[in-house]
Amino acid sequence: MTSPDTCRIAVLDDYQGVALTSADWSVLPPGCTVDVAREHLVGEDLVAFLTDARVVVAMRERTAVDAALLDRLPALELVVTTGMRNAAIDVSAAAERGVTVCGTGGLAGPATELTWALILAGLRRIPEEAAAMRDGAWQTTMGQGLEGRTLGLLGLGHIGQRMARVAHAFDMRVTAWSPNLTAERAAAAGAEPVGKRELFATADVVSVHLKLGDRSRGLVGAEELRAMRPDAWLVNTSRGPIVDEAALLTAVREGWIAGAALDVYDEEPLPADHPFRDTPGILATGHVGYVTGDNYRTFYTDAVEDVAAYLAGAPVRRLDPA
């Protein structure tokens, strides 16, 4: 068991190696030490790294902190997640074991920006044209524009609303569907509420912006993808399990749709041999929607504040069981 005068803080999944430089950890009380894992840890490697840690700082939903893991970490007192929601952390199990869970602030802009980057890169064939230029070629593809086309938003929450505003700047029509969408909320965002099938059938780009839950898991399957036009694109920067991966692979390979742009997956990091990495028509990035310097500074600065507040006996941004 650790001494009450010491506090080992374990930071998970710092792929870019920026956790320690994105915030001032020196403001924490004497006796605090910070250890950083640059790689994604699983199984016994994860348990070994977290042993004797009083605090774990988790980056988004990269690592599951469930009851089984918590039971193996008797020294753990505080889990900090970047953002104010993390489906990979069992907040109820933590509370039952006396472990506090706190969150951080975050920026909505990076996810919106990355979604539009993927849309533009896919429709304008930017990866192919850039590769062709490196090979000495010139004008090898025919891109597709956005003006006058339809963006279908599957979900019209905070990020979906930002997506709609940008779409209007491109002179696009915006449609939206979600299980609880009202006409008033759609109108306030500048979107036309439509049925789910109509959204898939009429959109040039379908962009997913739903939270992952029992109702949204597998929501986009073969039926929805078959309803799309063969020149339409599916974009998912929300959560991988919302879209049926097998159905999407078939849809792209058999030409049901023109392509898919993805930043999220059922399993992350995406296995090296996963077909999403090399299937023509799939533009894939490694869940970098939130990965910007500004966002990381917000995440880690707030994480330091969470730790300091907890050690002072007054936790902030506490996440309680639903």
Active site (catalytic) residues: 239, 268, 287
The 10 Å CB-count burial string (b at 16+, else e) for 29-51 is eeebebebbeeebeeeebeebbe
Complete edge-to-edge strand list for the sheet that includes strand 32-36:
32-36, 7-11, 55-58, 78-81, 100-102
Q: Tokens for 189?
A: 């965002």
The 10 Å CB-count burial string (b at 16+, else e) for 178-214 is beebeeebbeebebbbbebeebbbbbbbbbbbbebee
